[in-house]
């Protein structure tokens, strides 16, 4: 009886595995021509200056609305796109789309810096910085209006290469942020070695920090270290006014999170900014 039950478990396990594998291969197939089918779009989440409550920038976040799979999370499809080599084209599209959007906003009188997430595969391309320069030129966007977000994983895949590319993009006037700061194995090494303008303190330190002294100390120390090094800090994943008040008290300059806005389509972002979070409003 026992053996039978265990066997059933193993069978269910295999069934679940192959279901997972099948979904993955279906996603892979759909991703191969996702750009041609026009199923990707960018959502934008405002970055707020805590002291004034005004939006000073936004982060572009990739969205895939598939007629077959529904809305697929970037956390799920980006790793697949990286593995299958689709991320180069997708990443280039994200950059073009975000720069084009920010340039359009500027022409309409809205000064909003846009941050774009960059994958390891893009950073490993020795022409990355040159392509960024070309994209900015084509969009007519001043380099100072673009920020690139890199994660520790993306950078550690080839640290010297990443340093070279990021130095070049910074020489253009583009700023560089280290995303999900504090979650990797080499956070301090990267602060020491990387050409950087900003740290994005990971949501996992912000969540529950009002109630957890350890997290609070880490948040406070990161803010102080960043200030001493002349780096900006953004607190990610701010969801409550208690978290906001704690960050304000600790002198954190910038924040991002559902408390202010979820990632929004361009039209909804403009509507929100017209009502609130607006510079000079
Ligand atoms: P990330 O760059 O760290 O982006 C922040 C994530 O936190 C986003 O998830 C955002 O929707 C979510 N978030 C923002 N505020 C809050 C909050 O208050 N509470 C909670 N619970 N979550 C919040 P999203 O959009 O699902 O993106 C997940 C990750 O996918 C991103 O993490 C980034 O690493 C990656 N990603 C997104 N777009 C791109 C892209 O265009 N290129 C690349 N290479 N990666 C991207
Ligand atoms: Mg990011
Ligand atoms: Mg992040
Ligand atoms: Mg993250």
pLDDT digits 0-9 by tens, 209-234? 989 999 999 999 999 999 999 999 99
pLDDT band at 197 (very low <50, low <70, confident <90, very high): very high
Strand pairing partners for 162?
none
Ligand 1 binding site (Cβ under 6 Å of any ligand atom): 45, 61-62, 73-75, 78, 94, 117-119, 149, 179-180, 203, 237-239, 256-258, 263
CA distance 209 to 228: 22
- Ligand 1, atom 43, lies closest to the CA of 117
| Phi/psi at 244 (5° precision) | -60, -45
- Ligand 1, atom 20, lies closest to the CA of 237
Percent of the chain with pLDDT over 90: 89
- Ligand 1, atom 29, lies closest to the CA of 75
pLDDT band at 254 (very low <50, low <70, confident <90, very high): very high
Query: Which ligand 1 atom is nearest residue 91's CA?
Result: 42
Q: State the pLDDT at residue 281.
A: 43
Sign of CA dihedral 50, 136, 176, 173: negative
Q: State the pLDDT at residue 219.
A: 97
Strand pairing partners for 154?
none
CB burial of residue 51 (10 Å; 0-12, 13-18, 19+): exposed
Q: State the pLDDT at residue 6.
A: 55
CB 77 within 8 A of CB 28: no
CB 205 within 8 A of CB 236: no
**Helices of type H across the chain:** 2-32, 74-83, 87-107, 120-123, 128-139, 152-156, 159-172, 187-193, 203-206, 213-229, 241-249, 266-275
Q: Which two tokens stand for residue 156?
A: 């550690």
Q: Are strands 254-255 and 232-235 parallel, antiparallel or unpaired?
A: parallel
Q: Is the pLDDT of residue 15 over 90?
A: no
CA distance 246 to 39: 40
C-alpha 54: how far from chain center: 20
Q: Are strands 198-201 and 146-150 parallel, antiparallel or unpaired?
A: unpaired
Rg (C-alpha) for the chain, rounded Å, is: 20
CB 147 within 8 A of CB 115: yes
CA distance 100 to 125: 22
Q: State the pLDDT at residue 53.
A: 94
């Amino acid at each position: 009886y026992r053996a039978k039950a265990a066997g059933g478990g193993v069978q269910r396990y295999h069934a679940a595995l192959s279901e997972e594998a099948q979904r993955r291969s279906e996603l892979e197939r759909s991703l191969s021509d996702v750009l041609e089918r026009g199923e990707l779009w960018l959502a934008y989440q405002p970055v707020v200056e805590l002291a004034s409550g005004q939006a000073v920038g936004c982060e572009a976040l990739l969205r895939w609305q598939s007629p077959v799979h529904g809305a697929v999370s970037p956390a799920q499809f980006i790793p697949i796109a990286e593995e299958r080599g689709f991320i180069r084209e997708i990443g280039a599209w994200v950059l073009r789309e975000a720069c084009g959007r920010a340039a359009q906003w500027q022409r309409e009188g809205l000064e909003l810096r846009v941050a774009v997430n960059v994958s390891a595969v893009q950073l490993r391309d020795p022409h990355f910085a040159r392509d960024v320069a070309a994209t900015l030129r084509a969009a007519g966007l001043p380099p100072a209006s673009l920020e690139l977000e890199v994660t520790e994983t993306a950078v550690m895949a080839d640290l010297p290469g990443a340093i070279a590319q990021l130095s070049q993009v910074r020489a253009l006037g583009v700023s560089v942020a280290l995303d999900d700061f504090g979650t990797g194995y080499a956070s301090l090494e990267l602060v020491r070695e990387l050409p950087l303008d900003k740290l994005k303190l990971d949501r996992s330190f912000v969540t529950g920090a009002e109630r957890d002294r350890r997290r609070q100390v880490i948040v406070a120390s990161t803010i102080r270290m960043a200030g001493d090094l002349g780096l900006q800090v953004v607190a990610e994943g701010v969801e409550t006014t208690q978290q906001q008040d704690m960050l304000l008290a600790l002198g954190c300059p910038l924040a991002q999170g559902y408390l202010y806005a979820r990632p929004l389509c361009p039209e909804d972002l403009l509507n929100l900014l017209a009502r609130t979070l607006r510079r000079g409003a």
